[in-house]
Amino acid sequence: MGSQSYFKALIICLIALIGSTQAQLQLGFYAKSCPKAEQIILKYVVEHIHNAPSLAAALIRLHFHDCFVNGCDGSVLVDSTPGNQAEKDAIPNLTLRGFGFIEAIKRLVEAECPGVVSCADILALTARDSIHATGGPYWNVPTGRRDGFISRAADPLRSLPAPFHNLTTQLTLFGNVGLDANDLVLLVGAHTIGIAHCSSISTRLYNFTGKGDTDPTIDSGYAKNLKTFKCKNINDNSLIEMDPGSRDTFDLGYYKQVVKRRGLFQSDAELLTSPITRSIIASQLQSTQGFFAEFAKSMEKMGRINVKLGAEGEIRKHCARVNN
């Protein structure tokens, strides 16, 4: 009896081990279960992203906000219900865009392979394809993520880096999800595309220390320009380019602005307060090709944050709500 119990326990352990090794992200995860999935996603992106190129920035931001809050599990896509306020309704997420774009792709993929491809994977692939289709870098996206069951509005406030965070706070939040200073500098390099709202810098421009002053770390000429032509008063919530002059071009423009003390956010200026992050910026400025390669590594790393695998999640029928 003892030996039989031992072998039964050994078999159970082996099965568990095999299951754990199989339940990993992998390139081409849907090659057999839904072989056209990635092709469908890419085709939709290529056909539509040029009609609204600013969506590329919105989609990579959506992916970032998803991964930093409870992992890359599509929880940012879930709608609130009478009994639960979801992540998308948290203050940091109120300006997120691209939900309809992701849902449109989900419908196409569901028509091809019902109940097979997760919203988390669709979001990760769409973010990559939209950036690459508009001239940005390409990175590998291993798939096999499951969609999470939980989406709470309280979580983004605790987990997401904010435009006003100092470097220590940024590094802590990145460290909480397994990313380091190098990943921080590289991933915020995505600020080379897209737009922000004046509300994200109003205090920096008009009331930095509570005395009606401007953040002294911002270039005075840039601050004057912003106040004169963009954010004309503290209550102005107009749209503003994060990388003036090339907001639709994925390039080194953001880093060039930062070293001139013209980074839009306080969090951008904070990158100059450490020799480590300054050195990383200087390294990226050596070549666009080098930046693209390093950015790709950090994006793939980010896409692996606390992913749900196997029974840890589900495949949602609709990205905006968990299955019942």
Question: Has 251 been labeled as part of a binding site?
Answer: yes
Residue 2 assigned as binding residue: no
Residue pair 133/106 in contact (Cβ under 8 Å)? The answer is no
Please pick, among 63, 65, 132, 318, the residue that the annotation labels catalytic: 65
74 has binding-site annotation: no
71 is annotated as contributing to ligand binding: yes
CA distances (Å), 65 to each of 24, 73, 262, in order? 22, 11, 24
32, 40, 104, 111, 203 from 108: Cα distances, Å: 18, 7, 7, 5, 43
Residue 48 annotated to the active site:
no
DSSP lists the bridge partners of residue 321 as 318
Residue 75 assigned ligand-binding role: yes
Question: Which residue, chain included where needed, has tokens 């196997």?
Answer: 310
Question: Could you count the other beta carbons within 10 Å of the beta carbon of residue 191?
Answer: 24
Residue 87 annotated in ligand binding: yes
Query: 150-166: b or e for each residue (b if 16 or more CB lie within 10 Å)?
Result: ebbbebbeebbbbbbbe
Helix (H) / strand (E) containing 195 = strand 195-197
Is 147 annotated to bind a ligand? Reply is: no
Q: Is 180 annotated as a binding residue?
A: no
Please report, in range form, the residues annotated as the binding site.
Answer: 66, 69, 71, 73, 75, 87, 161, 191-192, 243, 251
Catalytic annotation, residues: 65
Please report, in range form, the residues annotated as the binding site for Ca(2+).
Answer: 66, 69, 71, 73, 75, 87, 192, 243, 251
Please report, in range form, the residues annotated as the binding site for heme b.
Answer: 191
